[in-house]
Amino acid sequence: MAKAQNILLRAYIIILHIINNLVSIIRTKILTPWNNNNTSLLYQTLPLEISTKLSIDTTSIKTASSDFGKLVHDPPAFVFHPTTVSDIVHLVKSSYTACPPFKIAARGHSHSIGGQATVKDGVVVEMSSLVDGGIKVCWSESLGFYCDVGGGQLWIDVLRTTMEHGLAPVSWTDYLYLSVGGTLSNAGISGQAFLHGPQISNVLEMNVITGKGDFITCSKNMNSDLFYGVLGGLGQFGIITRARIVLQKAPTRVKWIRMIYEDFVTFTKDQEHLISLNHGPNYVEGYLIMKKSPANNWRSSFFSVDDEAKVNALASEYGVVYSLEVVKYYDNFDIPKTDEELNEMFKGLNFKTGYIFKKDATFIDFLNRVRTEELKLQSKGLWDIHHPWLNFFIPKSCILEFNQRVFIDIIQRENKSAGPFLVYPMNRKKWDYRMSSVISDEDEGEDVFYTVGLLPSARNGEDLTTIENQNKRILKLCDEIGINIKQYLPRYYETKEEWMMHFGVQWGLFEERKAKYDPKMILSPGQKIFNFSY
């Protein structure tokens, strides 16, 4: 019996040895042709259970080669599908100890515009593969309600989970099918930011894997330098694997109102008034309506057929009009009180008489409004096309000149792109200057700045070229006439000097943090901040 067991054991060892040799041949002979960035070292340094999560199949590579913008095509050498956080730690450490290291980019929902989530000839980490980064709603005496969320989780799932407990985060993006780690690496803004700040201002704690492969828990009081660096840090200092998000009691419904203005000065004055109120709206945004950018757009089909025709007719008459969008949260038993608050809130506003439009919606339907339009466009093949967007922050003192020189003289008169075109104010005091995200430079006495989003789509190469050229003209014009903008989700910087100008006085700290947490410049090369030749 013992002899038979020994024979079986020897046979098992021989078979195992043969398998290991075959694996070695596959690693060195088959996968080596992919080695444009020394990535075959992965197969020599990673444990087998980690290296087997690297994929080179055509579908995975194609998906990871581009992003929502459909402007860049940078195929990675491998796509990594981790199931645990430790998988990512091993991957990053393997790069850090390799000579030379291979580049790594964490990919959430890849809603970037200019290939920021891609990594040519490197490794894209599919954060959605993680199974140990769910959503957990918690409460503590010191923190109140919060949720711990995996970095690869989508905000729509955060909303649905927290709403089961009657709770919700306070700051959002207009589109919820974005990853938590992705928006926190930028800022995360929408019409609630004037009141609660961007999403990065509502984070209590994070788990981060640095460019050295160190797994670090950080907060305002613990490893605070990393905490502030990662928030808005464009993925340069670490991969967010968990974030602790502030929660508050969630409303059940919203009063959703849009008002139309013929005059931009009055439009901005009323926007600024609304965001200054102590008990004002919960959400404020604004956008342009013109011939190619009608009242209803892919952000939401708010207007009825008759109302849209009425508003579009006014826009045709004036060339461009402005829509102020206001939302007030409420619960079913608060309807009379909410209506009274809205009436008081709108006293003194100067929108065009007869051009106020109201709608009632559930809280979830309002927050998830873009998804409804996305599905419509997907069915027509009009969603997965080029999105040459341009987003930036602009000082309040420059917004009137910007309206004339850009909105009117370029966008409206030339009528080359369809928008939508967003413009709405934020309160500067709701942003934390210790974080990496930068906003417009502060002019003396200005507590308000504006965000502008030029969000056209292009169905073909000709349209794409037209829009891209227009974007570059706008940026050049702002530079020439002294409108000091700061790109949000930046993609037009090509040199170190341009990035230094972007970060301004914060550049030195940004560079120091890079040297401290990712000294070999492994992470997020698609941002092209430190990898200029990438």
Alpha-carbon span 91 to 241, nearest angstrom: 14
With cut-offs at 50, 70 and 90, classify the pLDDT of residue 473.
Answer: very high
Q: Note whether 126 and 181 are same-domain residues.
A: yes
What is the SS3 assignment for 470? helix
- Looking at residue 51, its pLDDT comes to 85
Annotation says 174 is catalytic: yes
pLDDT at 446 over 80: yes
> Computed from CA positions of residues 164, 369, 232, 234, in that sequence, does the dihedral angle turn out positive or negative?
positive
CATH of residue 215's domain is 3.30.465.10
Domain with 280 in it: 253-488
Task: Write down the catalytic residue from 81, 90, 109, 111.
Answer: 111
Residue with tokens 């040895």: 17
**What's the domain count of the chain?**
2
Q: Note whether 159 and 265 are same-domain residues.
A: no
CB 88 within 8 A of CB 239: yes
14 in any annotated domain:
no
Q: Note whether 75 and 185 are same-domain residues.
A: yes
Q: Note whether 160 and 246 are same-domain residues.
A: yes
- Looking at residue 25, its pLDDT comes to 44
Q: Note whether 479 and 332 are same-domain residues.
A: yes
Tokens of 113: 């515009």
pLDDT at 181 over 70: yes
Amino acid at 211: G
- Looking at residue 49, its pLDDT comes to 74
Residue pLDDT, tens place only, 119-165: 999 999 999 999 777 999 999 999 999 999 999 999 999 999 999 99
Q: Note whether 181 and 279 are same-domain residues.
A: no
- Phi, psi torsion values for 107, nearest 5 degrees: -120, 120
- Looking at residue 48, its pLDDT comes to 78
Annotation says 111 is catalytic: yes
Q: Note whether 235 and 261 are same-domain residues.
A: no
Q: Note whether 243 and 260 are same-domain residues.
A: no
Q: Tell me, what DSSP letter sits at residue 430?
A: G
**Residue 168's beta-bridge partner residues?**
248
Looking at residues 355-360, what average pLDDT do you find? 97
Looking at residues 219-243, what average pLDDT do you find? 98
CATH of residue 417's domain is 3.40.462.10
27 in any annotated domain:
no
- Looking at residue 45, its pLDDT comes to 64
512 in any annotated domain:
yes
Tokens of 410: 């370029």
Q: Is 467 exposed, middle or buried (0-12, 13-18, 19+ CB in 10 A)?
A: buried
Looking at residues 201-226, what average pLDDT do you find? 98
Q: Which of 450, 466, 488 is the last residue of a domain?
A: 488
- Looking at residue 532, its pLDDT comes to 60
- Looking at residue 182, its pLDDT comes to 98
Residue pLDDT, tens place only, 17-47: 445 445 444 444 444 444 444 555 556 667 7
The secondary structure of the chain in percent helix, strand, coil, rounded to multiples of 5, reads 40, 20, 35
Range with lowest mean pLDDT among 158-172, 430-444, 472-486, 496-510: 430-444
Alpha-carbon span 191 to 171, nearest angstrom: 8
Look over the chain and give the mean of its residue pLDDT values, rounded to a whole number: 91
Q: Note whether 449 and 512 are same-domain residues.
A: no
38 in any annotated domain:
no
- Give the chain's radius of gyration (CA, Å): 25
Annotation says 401 is catalytic: no
DSSP string, 473-533: HHHHHHHHHT---EEES-----SHHHHHHHHGGGHHHHHHHHHHH-TT--B-GGG-SS-TT
pTM score, whole prediction: 0.91
- Looking at residue 17, its pLDDT comes to 46
238-246 vs 203-210, strand pairing mode: antiparallel
20 in any annotated domain:
no
130 in any annotated domain:
yes
Nearest C-alpha neighbor of 277 from the set 334, 336, 345, 350:
345
Looking at residues 499-513, what average pLDDT do you find? 96
What is the edge-to-edge ordering of all strands in the sheet holding 486-488?
A: 356-362, 253-261, 320-330, 283-290, 421-427, 448-454, 390-395, 486-488
- Looking at residue 44, its pLDDT comes to 65
Q: Tell me, what DSSP letter sits at residue 440?
A: P
With cut-offs at 50, 70 and 90, classify the pLDDT of residue 238.
Answer: very high
Q: Note whether 105 and 199 are same-domain residues.
A: yes
Task: Write down the catalytic residue from 67, 126, 285, 325.
Answer: 285
If one compares 211 and 10, the residue with the highest pLDDT of the two is 211
Tokens of 123: 């490794």
pLDDT at 302 over 70: yes
Q: Note whether 401 and 531 are same-domain residues.
A: no
Q: Note whether 439 and 451 are same-domain residues.
A: yes
Looking at residues 359-371, what average pLDDT do you find? 97
pLDDT at 366 over 90: yes
For 330-371, the three-class secondary structure string (H helix, E strand, C coil) is: ECHHHHHHHHHHHHHHCCCCCCCCCCEEEEEEEHHHHHCHHH
pLDDT at 462 over 80: yes
Range with lowest mean pLDDT among 49-58, 432-441, 464-473: 49-58
Tokens of 49: 């259970």
Q: Is 182 exposed, middle or buried (0-12, 13-18, 19+ CB in 10 A)?
A: buried
167-168 vs 248-249, strand pairing mode: antiparallel
pLDDT at 5 over 80: no
425 in any annotated domain:
yes
Q: Tell me, what DSSP letter sits at residue 127?
A: G
What is the SS3 assignment for 380? coil
Residue pLDDT, tens place only, 392-425: 999 999 999 999 999 999 999 999 888 899 999 9
Task: Write down the catalytic residue from 174, 262, 374, 468.
Answer: 174
With cut-offs at 50, 70 and 90, classify the pLDDT of residue 298.
Answer: confident
Range with lowest mean pLDDT among 126-140, 171-185, 438-452: 438-452
If one compares 244 and 335, the residue with the highest pLDDT of the two is 244
Looking at residues 171-179, what average pLDDT do you find? 98
Alpha-carbon span 262 to 252, nearest angstrom: 33
13 in any annotated domain:
no
pLDDT at 286 over 90: yes
Alpha-carbon span 368 to 376, nearest angstrom: 14
Looking at residues 511-525, what average pLDDT do you find? 98
pLDDT at 266 over 80: yes
